[in-house]
A and B are shown apart, each in its own frame.
Chain A
Amino acid sequence: GENVEQHPSTLSVQEGDSAVIKCTYSDSASNYFPWYKQELGKRPQLIIDIRSNVGEKKDQRIAVTLNKTAKHFSLHITETQPEDSAVYFCAASMETGNQFYFGTGTSLTVIP
């Protein structure tokens, strides 16, 4: 089955700096890669996703890049703000199947 690894597990940045979280996956059949944000005590919510037919996608301060050859994808947050502090999860989904495989999460702290 699919194996998703996520790094780092914790990340602290100064407000205004950039944050990068990286994930790798094992199954080349995976073609949908969402990122979820989970604030303390709340449910995970989708913040951005990318499909394998594109290499990069951007939404304001958030961007995701995908390298299918190397089987890795990354989340980039620019101009970080304290409200970006949360746990971020990457995930991978196969083209034929109904399962989502999540990474172990990255706890991001933005220091004011």
Chain B
Amino acid sequence: SQTIHQWPATLVQPVGSPLSLECTVEGTSNPNLYWYRQAAGRGLQLLFYSVGIGQISSEVPQNLSASRPQDRQFILSSKKLLLSDSGFYLCAWSVRGGRNEQFFGPGTRLTVL
């Protein structure tokens, strides 16, 4: 069966510090991978998605970036965090080709102080 992992589970970082969140998927190959941000009381905002190694599409201009160094690894990064980067970050995967269920990771709660 497929599983998706995210770490860390929670993170408290000062403004201006760097960020690296990691997501890995097991039990499947060539997945589509996604990063979402969920601000308090808000919906799911798609940040990045990837259909393959090294292929990243950005939905929203911001100070975040994403990378996919391996087929089942997706990393969200920032060089300098802003207060507005606080939120719940969710990684998700789906079968390539769309029109299928998205499976979400457990999420990372990021607080920028």
Given that A89-B43, A104-B43, A105-B42 are known contacts, is A99 also in contact with B101, CB under 8 Å in the complex? no
Residues in B neighbouring A103, C-beta threshold 8 A: 43
Question: Dominant SS at the A interface?
Answer: strand
Within 8 A of A (CB), among B81-113: 90, 94, 96-102, 104-107
Q: How far is the CB of B35 from chain A (nearest CB, A)?
A: 12
Whether the Cβ atoms of B90 and A44 lie closer than 8 Å is yes
Residues of A in contact with B, size category: 20 to 34
**B44 adjacent to chain A (CB < 8 Å):** yes
**B32 adjacent to chain A (CB < 8 Å):** yes
Whether the Cβ atoms of B49 and A99 lie closer than 8 Å is yes
**A43 adjacent to chain B (CB < 8 Å):** yes
CA distance A79 to B26 in the complex (A): 37
**A51 adjacent to chain B (CB < 8 Å):** yes
What is the total number of residues of chain B having a CB less than 8 Å from a CB of chain A?
Answer: 24
Question: Dominant SS at the B interface?
Answer: loop
**A93 adjacent to chain B (CB < 8 Å):** yes
Q: How far is the CB of A38 from chain B (nearest CB, A)?
A: 8
Q: How far is the CB of A95 from chain B (nearest CB, A)?
A: 7
Whether the Cβ atoms of B101 and A101 lie closer than 8 Å is no
**B34 adjacent to chain A (CB < 8 Å):** yes
Q: How far is the CB of A84 from chain B (nearest CB, A)?
A: 19
**A94 adjacent to chain B (CB < 8 Å):** yes
Whether the Cβ atoms of A97 and B102 lie closer than 8 Å is no
Given A43-B90, A43-B104; 9 other pairs, CB 8 A cutoff = A31-B99, A42-B106, A43-B106, A89-B43, A98-B49, A100-B34, A100-B102, A102-B44, A107-B41
